[in-house]
Structure formats: C-alpha cells, structure tokens
Amino acid sequence: MTKSRLHVLVLHGPNLNLLGQRQPEIYGRMTLREINAGLREAARGREAQLKIVQSNHEGVLIDSLHETRDWAEGVLINAAGYTHTSVALRDAIIATGHPTVEVHLSNIYAREDFRKESLLAPVCIGQISGFGWRSYLLGLTALLDIISDQPGGDA
C-alpha cells in the first residue's frame, strides 16, 4: 500500500457478508458492499486509504490485524459474534498497538445478555453501537480524528 497520510484497516467479522439479507429488522437493509462504498467515499474526503477485509474465520481476522503493523495507523472493527467470545482477537488488537474503534450496527446493550459483554471494548479507544450503517461512518470519523491528533498524525 502506498504511503499517504492515513491508513486504516476496516475489519468485518463473521456473517457480515450477509448484510442486507440477514435479520434486516436488526441489521438494516444496506449490504456490506454499500457500507464499504460509503466508507471509501468518507475516507476519500479525508485523504485516507482503507483496506477492507471481511472474513468468517477468526484466524484470517487475526492475520489481517498482524499485517497492519507494517502499514496502518488505525483499525475500525466490527468483529460481529467474535466480539463476545474472542480473547485471541483482543490480544491481536493489543499486539497491533494501533488505535482501534469498535463498531456495531445494532445496540448490543439492548439485546440478549450474552451480547452485552464485549471482550474487545476494553482494548479499543471506544465503541459505537446501535446506529445501523451509520455506526461505521461515525467510527471512521472518530478514528481518523484520533489518528490525526497524534503527534505527526496529519500535519
């Protein structure tokens, strides 16, 4: 990836490839492709470059996080079901050393009890949950602001 000022990995976890068809009453009717297009447009306005990965496999998500050590300054993640279970993803986020923002389409605190705990939230800068597809855009804006505020981030 060429060096521009801001580089962000956007990571989508399991089942998010089915957005638009999967429980639309909870997750909305936007497809992942549409969400990604919105993110890319927002990134262009900020001169940021995104790498977007969706995987249904925990190891692929972890490998993608490791690879960011070479090129990214931040991570936007919707780990989907792994949010509530994955110590390994949490450890990988810590290992990147990058500011990471956790997002969820649904409000995970208004749902089943098992969704109310995020193993990732304590190692992220913050979490945005419940705004549907807008959670991603809000998360990206917050992340780019945070990266830009870092010394040497966007001068």
Residues that bind ligand DQA (CB under 6 A): 15, 78, 80-81, 83, 104-106, 108, 115
> Which of residues 6 and 80 has its CB atom nearest to ligand DQA in the complex?
80
Residue with structure tokens 């050590």?
A: 69
Q: What's the rounded Cα separation, in Å, for the pair 18 and 16?
A: 5
> Which of residues 108 and 137 has its CB atom nearest to ligand DQA in the complex?
108
> What is the phi/psi pair of residue 118, to 5°?
-110, 125
Residue 84 is among the residues annotated as catalytic for this protein: no
Q: How many CA atoms lie within 13 A of 116 on its CB side?
A: 5
- Minimum distance, C-beta of residue 116 to ligand DQA, in the bound complex (Å): 9
Contact 95, 61 (CB under 8 A): no
Catalytic site residue from 7, 27, 82, 136: 27
> What is the phi/psi pair of residue 10, to 5°?
-105, 120
- Minimum distance, C-beta of residue 21 to ligand DQA, in the bound complex (Å): 13
> Which of residues 38 and 81 has its CB atom nearest to ligand DQA in the complex?
81
Residue 104 is among the residues annotated as catalytic for this protein: yes
Round to the nearest angstrom and report the end-to-end CA distance of the chain.
Answer: 20
- Minimum distance, C-beta of residue 52 to ligand DQA, in the bound complex (Å): 15
Catalytic site residue from 82, 98, 104, 136: 104
User: Which positions are annotated as active-site residues?
Assistant: 27, 104
